[in-house]
Each structure stands twice: as structure tokens, then as C-alpha cells.
């Protein structure tokens, strides 16, 4: 490994599904979706460094919920890239994960962690690997990993692997709220009563806070009604966002994390402080999304 790459920190951005339509189901059981997704500055952090032997450690608020065995997507990402590149070119590494996002919370935390590891290790182990090669490895780990590798405003179709970047998409002020109730993605999809819903409407020609809010009003998260039935606390999270002045509130992914859209970052920070004061045990974070421009 290039010593200049050693001991570097990579951001694992939370994925927020602003809208998520379930449009079908393949013969192999995978659901087809159309989703407008953004990625937030707030998220997990992954530190990668040279080591005498492979090592993995987890810290942070949600570390106790993270498995340390081979089922963890971080280790799956490391091992998948090592198989691709070859053991002779992939010396041992120490990986430290700072887990700031709730587990099983609908914001792609594990997938984003895996994407951060792939980006970091690819720079060290396989600097000539292109984005398509990384995305191919990412897809073998999970449908959300390729979009987490992109980490910019995008529309995902298919099983989440057909990605279209959205240009001229400014950063959004967001508040993320999770009432502390894990939700099983498999359980939510299994409980769907309909899987052949309409696709997303065309995006507005110019995207700003107001045009996006108006567009979101005519879209859905088709997983939200099912998740609400399984975990009524999601409804309380949405209610608190509305009370705090959210311009638009919705659940992300399969839940239970909900987001509120705010016109400015300062308004989002005040809203988060208000919710946190009333619900100190909940996960609450004010953040901004990544814009479509390189950051």
C-alpha cells in the first residue's frame, strides 16, 4: 500500500430516499424501484491504515449494534476487493468504523460503510480500477452500494443499480429523526400489498427548495404505509418534524429514519435542537445534503 494512503479517513454518507416508488418485481424476487436519493454530510466515518495483520474495530454511539464477524458489509467489501485484485497486491489493513448512524434505519448505513471501504482500499490496492469496476463489486455486496459509491443526487432504477445523476441539484437543509426502532427491510417488502405502482414523475426543470417540495408532494415512499403499520413510532417522528416546521416530511427507505426538508441550514439546526430537547433518546441530526457538484 502506498504509505501516503495509509491512515486516511473516508466519509460514509447517509442515503436519503426523498421519494421511492416500487414499480415491479423480478422473477428472482428482487423488487424494482424508482427513487430520487441524496446523500448527507452527516454519516459514519471509516479510517483505513497499514497494519501487520487485518484488523477491524467499531466505535461510536451505535457500535454495540454492529456485528464484528464476516457478516459485516465492511469486511465483505474488503474481502471482495482483495479477491478481485489478488492477495499479492493487497497487504493487511486496519479498518476502524465510527458508527454514527442507527443500524437498520433506512439510510443505507451499512452500504455506505462498504462503499467508503471500497473507495479507500481501491485507491491503495487498485489505483487503476475505474468507477464501473468498483460499482460492479459494490453490486455484488448489495443493491444500495453502487449508489452509495456515487454519493451525489441521483435517480436509481431497476433494483437500485441503474443510476442517473441529477445535475444542478443544490445542497438541502435536512433534519434526520429516528425513534430508535429498527425496521427489517425484508419484512417491509414482504408486507407490500401492491408492487406495480407508477414510476416517478419527471423532475422539475429547475430544482430549488420550493420546486422540490412541490414535486415531492406528488410522489410517495411506497414502503412508508407498511413500515408505519409495523412500527407506529415512525408516525411520531414524522409528527415531531412537522411540529418543528419542516417544509416536507417523509420516511427514508424502509425506515425508521424520517427526514424533514428545511429552507436553510440554520432553520434545520434550530428544529433539530427542539426535537432533541423533547426526545433526548432519539437519533436526531441536522445536516446538509451533498450537491451535484464535486465537493
| Residues assigned a catalytic role | 15, 144
Taking the C-alpha atoms of residue 113 and residue 21, their distance in angstroms, rounded to an integer, is 25
Which residue from 272, 266, 268, 236 is spatially nearest to 251, judged by alpha carbons?
236
Taking the C-alpha atoms of residue 66 and residue 48, their distance in angstroms, rounded to an integer, is 18
From residue 74, how far is each of 12, 70, 108, 232, 236 by CA, in Å?
11, 9, 13, 31, 32
Contact (CB, 8 A) for 257 and 105: yes
Amino acid at each position: 500500500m502506498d504509505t501516503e494512503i495509509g491512515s486516511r479517513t473516508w466519509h460514509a454518507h447517509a442515503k436519503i430516499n426523498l421519494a421511492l416508488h416500487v414499480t415491479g418485481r423480478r422473477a428472482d424476487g428482487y423488487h424494482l424501484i424508482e427513487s430520487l436519493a441524496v446523500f448527507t454530510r452527516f454519516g459514519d466515518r471509516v479510517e483505513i491504515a497499514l497494519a501487520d495483520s487485518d484488523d477491524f474495530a467499531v466505535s461510536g454511539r451505535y457500535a454495540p449494534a454492529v456485528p464484528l464477524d464476516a457478516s459485516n458489509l465492511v469486511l465483505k467489501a474488503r474481502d471482495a476487493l482483495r479477491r478481485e485484485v489478488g492477495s499479492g497486491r493487497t497487504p493487511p489493513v486496519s479498518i476502524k468504523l465510527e458508527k454514527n448512524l442507527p443500524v437498520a434505519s433506512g439510510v443505507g448505513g451499512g452500504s455506505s460503510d462498504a462503499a467508503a471501504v471500497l473507495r479507500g482500499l481501491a485507491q491503495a490496492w487498485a489505483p487503476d480500477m475505474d468507477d464501473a469496476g468498483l460499482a460492479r463489486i459494490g453490486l455484488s455486496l448489495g443493491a444500495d452500494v453502487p449508489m452509495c459509491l456515487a454519493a451525489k443526487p441521483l435517480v436509481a432504477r431497476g433494483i437500485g443499480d441503474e443510476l442517473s445523476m441529477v445535475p444542478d441539484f443544490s445542497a438541502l437543509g435536512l433534519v434526520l429523526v429516528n425513534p430508535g426502532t429498527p425496521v427489517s427491510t425484508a419484512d417491509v417488502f414482504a408486507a407490500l400489498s401492491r408492487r406495480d405502482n407508477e414510476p416517478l414523475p419527471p423532475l422539475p426543470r429547475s430544482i430549488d427548495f420550493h420546486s422540490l417540495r412541490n414535486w415531492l408532494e406528488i410522489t410517495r415512499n411506497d414502503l412508508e404505509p407498511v413500515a408505519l403499520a409495523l412500527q407506529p413510532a415512525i408516525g411520531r417522528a414524522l409528527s415531531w418534524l412537522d411540529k418543528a416546521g419542516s417544509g416536507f416530511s417523509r420516511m427514508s427507505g424502509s425506515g425508521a429514519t424520517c427526514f424533514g426538508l428545511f429552507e436553510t441550514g440554520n432553520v434545520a439546526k434550530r428544529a433539530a435542537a427542539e426535537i432533541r430537547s423533547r426526545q433526548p433518546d432519539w437519533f436526531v441530526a441536522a445536516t446538509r445534503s451533498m450537491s451535484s457538484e464535486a465537493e
